[in-house]
Structure 1
Amino acid sequence: MQLIDIGANLTHESFGHDLDAVLTRARAAGVAKMIVTGASREHSPKALALAQAHPGLLYATAGVHPHHASEYTDECDAEMRALHAHPQVVAVGECGLDYFRDFSPRPAQRRAFERQLEIAAETGKPLFLHQRDAHGDFVAIMKEFEGRIGPAVVHCFTGTREELFACLDRDWHIGITGWLCDERRGAHLRELVPHIPHARMMVETDAPYLLPRTLKPAPKSRRNEPAFLAHVVDELARDRSEDIATTAARSTATAEAFFGLGGEAMRSAAGMSTPRPEGGR
């Protein structure tokens, strides 16, 4: 079983002391590739550095999460654009809207989101999106960019049935995490995941967050890590009435196509860059 974790926050301080061991455990658990999430001015460059240090295993996104939207200045925009010049950066984001916590003012969130959508439109890179309690504004802003942006994945989907089908109707991809395993908050997802076409579904841990509550025994640290992705896939396969090998193979194929992780991307990450075709990936 070869898996791709499309969202792991490996620049988080909790991985600072044992990242090599974390990566070793991930590979042993069948996680063949990981996308390191870049979600701020501070951590997006660190995500790229990790991808450059582990070619073929780690890739990166570069963006500014809505929690940090207040930091999205002209200088920040220039920094993000410089990061996206690197082939190891395979998606724009994590970006979007979060009205649940409102750590940044909503107007600032919308402006930062729009500026990052402009980067996606100009680079042709896919989008790694965040949305929580902001579905209406999120869809409205994305609609403004229809026809200009490429594929998009709604990372760590936790929404309603109506929100899921609104995303699928727009051909957006869906990222499933250990939220599925949370009987308090994620039980509704078990009824929704069978409706996600396999060509639109990917899996992720969002490590170190969202440790699957059904994982036994749970690590004493309560830290989630990519090695636990197989547990999420096992639960997902059961809810979809599939065998785990089928769910794993399909989610991996979808992720490879979405992020462009085939031979060309791997050669580029190893420093053997080839020109990007004009107009997209």
Structure 2
Amino acid sequence: MLSVVGTPIGNLGDFSPRAAAAFRAADLICCEDTRVTAKLLAHLGISKPLMRCDENTIAARAPELIGRMLGGERIAFASDAGMPSVSDPGQVLVDAAREADVPVEVLPGPSACVTALVASGIPCEHFFFEGFLPRKHGDRVRRLAALAPVPGALIFYESPHRVIASLEALSEVLPRRMVAVCRELTKLHEEVIRGTAAEVGEILAARTEIKGEIAIVVAPPAADEQGLPTTAAPTADPEAALARDIEEALDAGESASAIAKRLAQRHSIKRRIVYERVLAAQRRRG
């Protein structure tokens, strides 16, 4: 069995008894960083073999791990904080386990994106989680422009070193929207700063140093920004959305198999169908 274990995003008191039981039952714990997980295990009084499975190694190690589980071992997987696969490694191993008919259990735990959304005070009836924005300013602006029509709150993860740059891009593309920068959630120095992107950016720029894990929540578009009544939403064209996502992924240099795997989940379409469309898009590009 594969146990996917959600871990605390800050406060160790948020680790569930069921998750601790999964660690105790595991023959091996795979993790993003063995040093981080070792500290969590020490807090719990658990001693287990650890294997590093970060984004650079998990795909290569998946066949060995699947073989061990088919041989009867229980393997737990945890990222450094929050839910694996949500802007963290894990999906490759879950996919491999599903394809090999290895049982998969998910032990829910804290998630920074949902915690930030609730803490922000921004309307959260509908929301879209983007993860990390592109590193380059032009790419960041283009991505934000593409997300602007989404009829819900936008959630981003950001590093303390790039948060001001991201706020500058937000102030350029979405200058009127309410923004909440949520820092160090569930930790001693938890902080939520609200205002326009320019206002929040000015507050942070005045500091000598910015520390901690950061999530940015952006308010949904106002009715006049959408050009629609408040009860209406843009008409969605699933085919066009899939084609657009494929083109963006190809522009980013993503492999055909990786695109198919990711977009099949996003659009609830069979991976084979998405893969064929990716190949067709590649052929059109020459």
TM-score where L is the length of structure 2: 0.29
TM-score where L is the length of structure 1: 0.30
Structure number with greater Rg is: 2
More relative contact order in 1 or in 2 (CA 8 Å, sep 6+)? 1
